[in-house]
Amino acid sequence: MPFQLTDSFPFLAWIRRYRRPHFQADLFAGLTVAVVALPQSMAYALIAGLPVQYGLYASIVPTLIACLWGSSAHLITGPTTAVSLVVFSSLANLAPSGTPAYIELAFALAAFTGLIQIGMGAARLGNLLDFVSRSVLLGFTAGAAVLIAFKQLPGMVGLTVPQGRHFVVTLGHLLLNLHQSHLITLALALLTMAVILAVKKIRPAWPGTLIALILAGLLVSIFGLDEKGVAVVGTVPRSLPPFHFPSWEALDHLGQLASGALAIALLGLVEAVSIAKSIADQTRQRLNINREFVGQGLANLSAAFFSGYPVSGSFTRSAVNFRSGARTPLSGVLSALAVAATVLAAAPLAGSLPLAGLAGVLVLVAYDMIHWADIKQTVRATRGDAAVLVVTFLSTLLLNIEFAIYVGVLLSIGLHLAKTSRPRIYEEIPDLQTGKMKAAALEDNCPQVEIVYIEGSLFFGSAAFVQEDLLRRLRNQPRIINLLIRMHRVNTLDASGVHVLELLLEEVRRRGGDLYLAGVNQRVFEDTTGSAIRYAMRETFYPTVCAVCERTIFQECPQLKTGNWEILGPGVRARTGALPAARNDDPTGSEFKASLS
Per-residue pLDDT of the chain (597 residues; tens, 9 = 90+): 455 677 788 888 889 888 888 999 999 999 999 998 999 999 999 999 999 999 999 999 999 999 999 999 999 999 999 899 999 989 988 999 999 999 999 999 999 999 999 999 998 887 777 777 788 888 988 988 888 888 888 889 888 776 655 667 777 778 888 888 899 999 999 999 999 999 999 998 888 998 999 999 999 999 999 899 899 988 888 899 999 887 777 778 888 899 899 999 999 998 898 888 888 888 888 889 999 999 999 999 999 999 999 999 998 899 889 988 899 999 999 999 999 999 998 888 888 899 999 999 989 988 988 888 889 998 887 788 888 899 989 988 888 777 888 888 888 888 877 777 888 898 888 888 787 888 877 667 788 888 999 988 888 888 899 999 999 988 888 888 899 998 888 878 888 888 999 999 999 999 889 998 888 755 434 455 777 888 888 888 888 888 888 888 888 899 888 888 888 888 888 887 766 655 544 433 443 333 333
All structural domains of the chain, each given as residue ranges with its CATH number in brackets, are 23-240+270-369 (no CATH), 424-596 (3.30.750.24)
DSSP states along 262-325: HHHHHHHHHHHHHHHHHHHHHHTPPP-HHHHHHHHHHHHHHHHHTT----EE-HHHHHHHHHTT
- Specify whether the CB–CB gap between 330 and 141 falls below 8 A: no
Q: How far apart are CA 41 and CA 298, in angstroms?
A: 19
Using DSSP, state whether 99 is helix, strand or coil. Answer: coil
Query: What type of residue sits at position 595?
Result: S
Burial 252-287 (b: 16+ CB within 10 A, else e): ebeeebeebbbbbbbbbbbbbbebbbebbeeeeeeb
**Contact yes or no for 64/376 (Cβ under 8 A):** no
Looking at the DSSP bridge assignments, the partners of residue 427 are 452
